Amino acid sequence: MATVAGQRIPDVAGFKPRAVSESPKQEGKALRERVPRSAHARFEAPAGRPDAVRAVEESNAGRVAALTPIRVGRMAANPFAFLRGAAGLMAHDLSAGPVTGVGAQICGDAHAANFGLYGDARGRLVIDLNDFDETVFGPWEWDVKRLATSLVLAGRVSGAGEDACRAAALDAVGSYRRTMRLLARLPAMDSWNAIADEELVSHTDVRDLVGILERVSEKARNNTSARFAARSTEAAADGGRRFVDALPVLRRVGDEEAAAVAASLGPYLATLQGDRLPLLARYAIHDVAFRVVGTGSVGTRSYVVLLLDHRGEPLVLQVKEARPSALLPHLPALGFVSAPPEHEGMRVVAGQKQMQVVSDIMLGWTTVEGRPFQVRQFRNRKGSVDPAALTADQLDDYGRMTGALLARAHAHSADPRVLAGYCGKNEELDEAMADFAVAYADRSEADHADLVAAVRAGRIAAETGV
């Protein structure tokens, strides 16, 4: 055994093990010389920055034109809503700022409303990041700054004082830093398998949020395919069920379109683990409808597919268009260069599985009429907290919780020892990123005001209340 002691797993398929002599913690500390933690406080709008309206118009390209006024209307609701729909614009701005060069699989859109509850294979609730449309390998700092900024904006929308808003951002970054240090100290397997539940976030002290989480959990347990189908379908003449129009959010589609979506589930099956196939074989497709999705995704093509088992119990799958990540154009100049994904749906699914410990067992991808889509369960006991409705104390707790969850997600692809070495023990990074969050929140408020003015002037169409 002496001949193999200390040897590392060989470099296979791009996996590059660390040399025995290297110290990940020291590697992280050394990065501070090149990129001081205090540098993350800086925000300067880069030259050639598109104005808010042009950025929204450009991001609407390729979407269903009839639905883009809904997207604009939702983004115009308040500055937090604007930020939610402007991941690409923020990536443009972040690309001009400091980056350590340490990459991770990032969410790309880690704002405070993109965390939530969902059910695992046994129906138990897990809390984690839950939106991966923009996921890509990129700078870990971008996710942290987006989360911190979103907390400032959510607090301002809810009426929290400016000190409370900054404190929520500060504590989110602090929680990220402390959680990364915790994960760095754990055995590698324990760190990797840390479950995103109350055990992981208990050290973040979220007492003021407990009541909110309990209510959201109770609601999430009832948020199922069966409940959605009961509300959104009716008995069909053939003894099955079919969707009922609820315009403009839900509408039935023509036979040709429905057939194309149904046919895409064949190739989708090939993207699943083999043990899922006998389960899905017990269901039959009964109907397809088009359903409008959330703020950032409005205008993308998204379908719900109703399947029934032998007892008539429903399973609803969502077949959602997967567009290229809005972050991708801004990464090569920073040294984050990768080959284009074989399939955008596969990119989303792979990124989600990389960042979550527990993922939807029905997660896969397919192609509909030449466009890439992701497939997942719809209403899989999902529940979420509205950060813009929290009190100041609750927002602070929520910031600590989401900061911890984000650190755990990043630690699957970036060595937590390197990031812990960079982030350090003191609050220098926390203070810097909180300053950035306040400055960028101010920029987002100005962008939102420009969008609202453009809507009022008739420069861009908006539909509100949808």
Spell out the residues 6+ positions from residue 344 whose beta carbon is closer than 8 angstroms to its own: 322, 323, 324, 372
pLDDT value for 232:
96
Residue 301 lies inside a defined structural domain of this protein? yes
Q: Same domain for 241 and 367? A: yes
Residue 82 lies inside a defined structural domain of this protein? yes
Structure tokens at 223: 């948020």
Structure tokens at 272: 């699943």
Spell out the residues 6+ positions from residue 79 whose beta carbon is closer than 8 angstroms to its own: 153, 156, 157, 441, 444, 445, 447, 448
pLDDT digit string, tens, across residues 62-85: 999 999 999 999 999 999 999 999
Q: Same domain for 86 and 107? A: yes
Q: Same domain for 290 and 395? A: no
Q: Same domain for 368 and 396? A: no
What is d(CA 342, CA 407) in angstroms, rounded to the nearest whole number?
28
Contact (CB, 8 A) for 197 and 165: no
Amino acid sitting at position 273: Q
Residue 1 lies inside a defined structural domain of this protein? no
pLDDT value for 13:
44
**Confidence class for position 196, pLDDT limits 50, 70, 90:** low
Spell out the residues 6+ positions from residue 126 whose beta carbon is closer than 8 angstroms to its own: 117, 118, 119, 120, 195, 196, 197, 357, 358
Residue 7 lies inside a defined structural domain of this protein? no
Q: Same domain for 59 and 131? A: yes
pLDDT score of 17 more than 70: no
pLDDT digit string, tens, across residues 106-134: 999 999 999 988 888 777 788 899 999 99
Structure tokens at 30: 């050394």
Of residues 371 and 199, which shows the higher confidence score? 371
Place of tokens 């590698």: 188
pLDDT value for 217:
81
Handedness of CA 435, 108, 398, 384 (dihedral sign): positive
pLDDT digit string, tens, across residues 272-317: 999 999 999 999 999 999 999 887 789 899 999 999 999 999 999 9
Residue 382: name the closest of 210, 194, 222, 211 by CA.
Answer: 222
Q: Which of 161-170, 226-235, 424-433 has the lowest mean pLDDT?
A: 226-235
Count of structural domains, the chain: 2
Q: Same domain for 290 and 166? A: no
Q: Same domain for 60 and 160? A: yes
β partners of residue 129: 115
Round the average pLDDT of the chain to a whole number and report it. Answer: 91
pLDDT score of 32 more than 50: yes
pLDDT score of 197 more than 60: no
Q: Same domain for 188 and 259? A: no
Residue 360: name the closest of 106, 107, 126, 113 by CA.
Answer: 126
Structure tokens at 133: 């449309």
pLDDT score of 363 more than 90: yes
Q: Same domain for 186 and 241? A: no
The mean pLDDT value for 18-36 works out to 85
**Confidence class for position 143, pLDDT limits 50, 70, 90:** very high
pLDDT score of 8 more than 70: no
Residue 258 lies inside a defined structural domain of this protein? yes
Residue 103 lies inside a defined structural domain of this protein? yes
What is d(CA 357, CA 411) in angstroms, rounded to the nearest whole number?
11
pLDDT score of 361 more than 90: yes
Residue 273 lies inside a defined structural domain of this protein? yes
Q: Same domain for 235 and 356? A: yes
Cis peptide before 248 (omega within 30 of 0): yes
Residue 290 lies inside a defined structural domain of this protein? yes
pLDDT value for 424:
97
Q: Same domain for 216 and 273? A: no
pLDDT score of 393 more than 50: yes
pLDDT score of 21 more than 60: no
Structure tokens at 255: 């036979």
Q: By residue range, what is the domain housing residue 350?
A: 224-332+339-380
Structure tokens at 247: 């315009």
> Residue 153 class from Cβ within 10 Å (0-12 exposed, 13-18 middle, 19+ buried)?
buried
> Residue 353 class from Cβ within 10 Å (0-12 exposed, 13-18 middle, 19+ buried)?
middle
Structure tokens at 294: 């959330």
> Residue 120 class from Cβ within 10 Å (0-12 exposed, 13-18 middle, 19+ buried)?
middle
Report pTM: 0.93
Q: Same domain for 207 and 64? A: yes
What is d(CA 151, CA 166) in angstroms, rounded to the nearest whole number?
8
Helices (H) and strands (E) in the chain, counts: 17, 12
pLDDT score of 453 more than 80: yes
pLDDT digit string, tens, across residues 413-438: 999 999 999 999 999 999 999 999 99
Distance of CA 310 to the CA centre of its chain: 35
Q: Which of 9-18, 242-251, 314-323, 403-412 has the lowest mean pLDDT?
A: 9-18
pLDDT value for 379:
84
* Residue % of the chain over a pLDDT of 90: 76
